[in-house]
Amino acid sequence: MDLKEAQSIVDEYILQFKEGYFPPMNNLARLVEEVGELSREMNHTYGPKKKKASEDQRDKSKDEMGDILFTLIVLANQMDIDLGESLQEVVNKYNLRDKKRWTLE
């Protein structure tokens, strides 16, 4: 699915509820929480801190990235930001800025 479609799906999901979108600061706090949960998973997988025996041992990085993407889309929707356009602008910026920074194959 492309980003425009993802933004539309998330918008339809949110708007089915009477409460609608939470305030942007609430969603930013939620986004930070989700990034923290991904950080914890990454630390368990690649860092020195391993999971306790009592914890679910499967790698939940995929789930956490999904949560991050969903929450970022919520935030973009309520700020009227087209994530496809935003991503394209950032890729263009990196291509210009880092053109000679890295070794090409």
pLDDT exceeds cutoff 90 at 21? yes
| Structure tokens that stand for 71 in this block | 């929450």
- Residue 56: left (phi > 0), alpha (psi -120 to 50), or beta? beta
Instruction: Please identify which residue in the block is written with the tokens 């609430």.
Output: 26
What residue ranges define each of the domains in the chain, with the CATH number in brackets? 3-97 (1.10.287.1080)
pLDDT exceeds cutoff 80 at 90? yes
For the stretch 33-89, pLDDT in tens is 999 999 999 998 898 877 777 777 778 899 999 999 999 999 999 999 999 999 999
Residue 75 has what pLDDT?
A: 97
For residue 104, the tally of other CB atoms under 10 A from its CB is 5
Task: Point out the least confidently predicted range of 11-20, 27-36, 90-99.
Answer: 90-99
Residue 45 has what pLDDT?
A: 87
43 vs 20: CA distance, rounded Å? 34
